[in-house]
Structure 1
């Protein structure tokens, strides 16, 4: 299987998974709204969502590349959402909450993450910064 065949196969599997997910969401919503939905509608909506996701991915990659980075980060996502004020506020709130949670976890774990605590016998014997024991 060549690289193009593999890419196309991957793209088709991704579209199938997206079609399934969109179909489940549409089915749930159509039941709650008591409306009928055709398979053609689900297919068209899936294509629309896929095209939008491709555009978002390209934009995020471009923003990261422009900043001389190879990885997309939250700044890129916020930049993408700059024209949608409501979405931007939701994303900023989400990011702030995630940062607060991460800081809480860091405080719980402490700065000596993964290092064994010094025992009473070890105190005074530990090497100074840089791994060299000070002379007294």
Structure 2
């Protein structure tokens, strides 16, 4: 039977992160004709893991402060506020997604009305 304890899940996620980082480092090492040691990959994995944990805690805190149980794009944008360039890129992306959804919803509403007029 598979072990599904939180600690086991955490170790599986960390292993997957280590593997993914290793793949990226290997690819970049080949492009640049460099070598990276397993210790470097391990240290980079630990650093990224710590960043992920910090981001997760911050997002959960923002979400709870707003009285929600689900993290939203507003929480992510709030997290990115200290990096203006990143915040700007993310804000444009989120605004584009929202505009696309509104345009899609608007066209389906007007499209239905046009079809009804055409049938009469």
Whether TM exceeds 0.5 here: the answer is yes
Cross-structure match for 1:47? 46
Query: Residue by residue, what CA displacement relative to the aligned partner does 1:29-54 show, whole Å, maximum 9, x if unpaired?
Result: 11112211111111111111111000
Post-superposition offset of 1:98: 1.1
Cross-structure match for 1:101? 100
Where 1:36 maps in the other structure, the secondary structure is coil
Return 5+ residue gaps in structure 1 as ranges.
124-136
TM-score (norm: length of structure 1): 0.74
Query: Residue by residue, what CA displacement relative to the aligned partner does 1:62-97 show, whole Å, maximum 9, x if unpaired?
Result: 011111111111111111111111110111011011
TM-score (norm: length of structure 2): 0.83
CA root-mean-square deviation: 2.5
Larger radius of gyration: 1
Rounded Cα–Cα distance in structure 2 between residues aligned with 1:80 and 1:111: 37
The higher relative CO (CA closer than 8 Å, separation ≥ 6) is in 2
Q: 1:110 and 1:85, CA in 2 relative to 1: closer, same or farther beyond 3 A?
A: same
Post-superposition offset of 1:110: 2.7
Return 5+ residue gaps in structure 2 as ranges.
none
